[in-house]
Amino acid sequence: MTYAPESASDEALAHRAAGGDRAAFNGLIRRYKEPLYRFVRRYVGDADDAYDLLQDTFISAWRALHRYDPKRPFSPWLHRIALNKCRDFGRRKAVRRTFLRLLALGTEDQPPMDVGGADEELEASARLARLNMAIAALPTLYKEPLLLTVIEGLSQDEAAVILGTTRKAIEMRLYRARRKLADELEKG
């Protein structure tokens, strides 16, 4: 029987990768790099930072495969690693920003958006950028369930497992996230 990574389950690939099979791990990377990139990109709000965090996520996953339980779904486990990387990044960024302010360097978080023309494509791009920035600015408590369910398409139950909370808590956080986003986007 020939081994075909593209048809194997995530859990089977993870099990093989834990045994040192790099091809199996590359199969997992191919499956998850796009959805994880979208998740991380929307979490941090910057494409370059998201790419770096995506690489960190896969490196950490490779190193932690021996702790993965193949009886559990792989996707929430991997999303949890990405989420932790995003949280760590946010904390480091906040510390750096505070430090720079203390040194009176006066850094700005984001330059003002100047759309300028009436070109529809440019306006749509500006709206998308505003939405990404509004999502990135949400409090972590609301941002995480929003990204996991609405953006990544996970169920509320799956998001609850990843975030270590209940489905009802996810529902409430999603409601509040949507209200905050609507309020923020209404301002601009």
**Final residue in a domain of this structure, among 83, 107, 131:** 107
Is the pLDDT confidence value at 119 over 90? Answer: no
**What confidence score (pLDDT) does residue 95 get?**
61
Give a three-class secondary structure readout of the chain. CCCCCCCCCHHHHHHHHHCCCHHHHHHHHHHHHHHHHHHHHHHHCCHHHHHHHHHHHHHHHHHHHHHCCCCCCHHHHHHHHHHHHHHHHHHHHHHHHHHHHHCCCCCCCCCCCCCCCCCHHHHHHHHHHHHHHHHHHCCHHHHHHHHHHHHCCCCHHHHHHHHCCCHHHHHHHHHHHHHHHHHHHHHC
Q: Which domain holds residue 90?
A: 1-107
Residues 127, 79, single domain; the answer is no
Is the pLDDT confidence value at 79 over 90? Answer: yes
**What confidence score (pLDDT) does residue 97 get?**
62
Q: Mean of the pLDDT values across residues 112-136? A: 69
Is the pLDDT confidence value at 92 over 90? Answer: no
Is the pLDDT confidence value at 106 over 60? Answer: no
Residues 96, 123, single domain; the answer is no
Residues 87, 174, single domain; the answer is no
**What confidence score (pLDDT) does residue 35 get?**
94
Q: Give the separation between CA 67 and CA 21, rounded to whole angstroms.
A: 16
Each residue's pLDDT tens digit, 28-38: 999 999 999 99
User: Is 30 inside a domain boundary?
Assistant: yes
Residues 100, 141, single domain; the answer is no
Residues 1, 35, single domain; the answer is yes
Q: Mean of the pLDDT values across residues 3-16? A: 83
Comparison of pLDDT for 113 and 145, the residue scoring more: 145
Q: Mean of the pLDDT values across residues 107-134? A: 63
How many C-beta atoms surround the C-beta of residue 169 within 10 A? 16
Band (101; pLDDT cuts 50, 70, 90): low
Which CATH number belongs to the domain containing residue 56 in this structure?
Answer: 1.10.1740.10
